[in-house]
Structure 1
Amino acid sequence: MTQAFRLTALLGLLLNGALFGFFYAWVCSTMWGLDAAAPEVAIRAMQAMNASVRNAVFAPAFFATGPVLLVAALLAWRSGQRALVAVLLALAGLVVLCGGTGLTMVVNVPMNEALALVTEAQIESGAAAIWAEYSAPWQVWNQIRTALTGLGLALTGAALLAARQAGA
Structure 2
Amino acid sequence: MPGIVVGLSITSIIFCGAIFGFFYAWVCSTMWGLDQTDPRVAIEAMQAMNASVRNAVFFPAFFLTPVVLGLTAAAMRFDGRKSPAFWFAAAALVYLTSGLFLTLTVNVPMNEALAATAIPDDIETARHIWQDYSQRWQFWNQARTIASGIALAFAGLGLVRM
TM-score normalised by length of structure 2: 0.97
Structure 1 spans left out of the alignment, 5+ residues? 164-168
Give secondary structure in 2 for the equivalent of 1:25: helix
Deviation at 1:68, TM superposition (A): 0.5
Counterpart for residue 89 of structure 2:
90
Deviation at 1:9, TM superposition (A): 1.2
Counterpart for residue 64 of structure 1:
64
State the Cα deviation string for residues 57-112 of structure 1 (Å, max 9, x = none): 0000000001110110000000111x111110000001111111110000000000
The one-letter code matched in structure 1 to 2:33 is G
Counterpart for residue 115 of structure 2:
116
Counterpart for residue 103 of structure 2:
104
- The aligned length equals 160
Counterpart for residue 28 of structure 2:
28
State the Cα deviation string for residues 12-58 of structure 1 (Å, max 9, x = none): 11000000000000000000000000100000000000000000000
Counterpart for residue 44 of structure 1:
44
Give secondary structure in 1 for the equivalent of 2:57: coil
Counterpart for residue 159 of structure 2:
160
The one-letter code matched in structure 1 to 2:49 is M
Measured in 2, the distance between the counterparts of 1:19 and 1:124 equals: 35
Structure 2 spans left out of the alignment, 5+ residues? none
Deviation at 1:3, TM superposition (A): 1.0
Measured in 1, the distance between the counterparts of 2:112 and 2:144 equals: 18
Runs of 4+ in 1 over 2 A off after TM superposition: none
Give secondary structure in 1 for the equivalent of 2:55: coil
Counterpart for residue 131 of structure 1:
130
Give secondary structure in 1 for the equivalent of 2:161: helix
Give secondary structure in 1 for the equivalent of 2:121: helix
Give secondary structure in 2 for the equivalent of 1:150: helix
Deviation at 1:114, TM superposition (A): 0.1
Q: Over the residues paired in the alignment, what is the CA RMSD in angstroms?
A: 0.9
Deviation at 1:156, TM superposition (A): 0.4
Give secondary structure in 2 for the equivalent of 1:124: coil
